[in-house]
């Protein structure tokens, strides 16, 4: 089952916010966004992005879904991280518990190695927070099903909607 909306307690909000802010600082990144598998933006930190964060969140979720399917094709269970290198800016995405994704946007001020190192530590921290949040809200009783058919169809429709003039 997919969580269509998030209920976050104040202490979890601050724990998530502090983790994301620490990641921005320690990795010298521009933006860090926390996205769920439905494409919903949960939290963000860093400089104010010059892009549409909702579209970005939807595309990050779709990116992980597409790579989930690619992993299956080559005999892997899943990919825990994704990296996209650009001429000026790059993205590094790390999978957290329950299909939540942390997306780090960075430029030449830092290195991929530093971002990877810091994301690994932050993913461990956020795993505990997200897992605890599910426990508090009793989501754990619901079966977690990675990327089901309804979700895939919804993501395809959302992507199509982004590119309609």
Cα Rg of the chain, angstroms: 15
Q: Where are the domains of the chain?
A: 13-156
DSSP per residue over 31-97, as a string?
EEEEE-TTS-EEEEEESPPSS-HHHHHHHHHHHHHHHHHHHHHTT-S--SEEEE--SS-EEEEEE-G
Chain segment 79-95, per-residue pLDDT in tens:
889 999 999 999 999 99
Q: What whole-number distance in Å separates Cα of residue 46 and Cα of residue 73?
A: 36
CATH of the domain spanning 13-156: 3.30.450.30
pTM (2 decimals)? 0.78
What is the CA angle 24-70-57, rounded to 5? 35
Chain segment 58-82, per-residue pLDDT in tens:
999 999 889 988 999 999 988 889 9
């Amino acid at each position: 089952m997919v969580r269509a909306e998030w209920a976050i307690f104040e202490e979890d909000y601050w724990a998530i916010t502090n983790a994301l802010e620490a990641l921005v600082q320690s990795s010298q990144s521009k933006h860090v966004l926390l996205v769920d598998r439905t494409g919903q933006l949960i939290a963000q930190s860093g400089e104010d992005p010059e892009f549409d964060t909702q579209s970005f969140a939807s595309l990050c979720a779709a990116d992980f879904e597409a790579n989930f399917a690619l992993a299956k094709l080559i005999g892997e269970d899943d990919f825990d991280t994704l990296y996209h290198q650009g001429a000026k800016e790059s993205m590094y995405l790390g999978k957290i518990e329950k299909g939540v994704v942390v997306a780090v946007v960075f430029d030449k001020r830092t290195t991929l190695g530093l971002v990877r190192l810091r994301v690994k530590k932050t993913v461990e921290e956020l795993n505990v927070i997200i897992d605890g949040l599910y426990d508090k809200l009793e989501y754990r009783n619901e079966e977690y099903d990675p990327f089901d058919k309804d979700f895939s169809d919804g993501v395809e429709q959302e992507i199509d909607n982004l590119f309609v003039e």
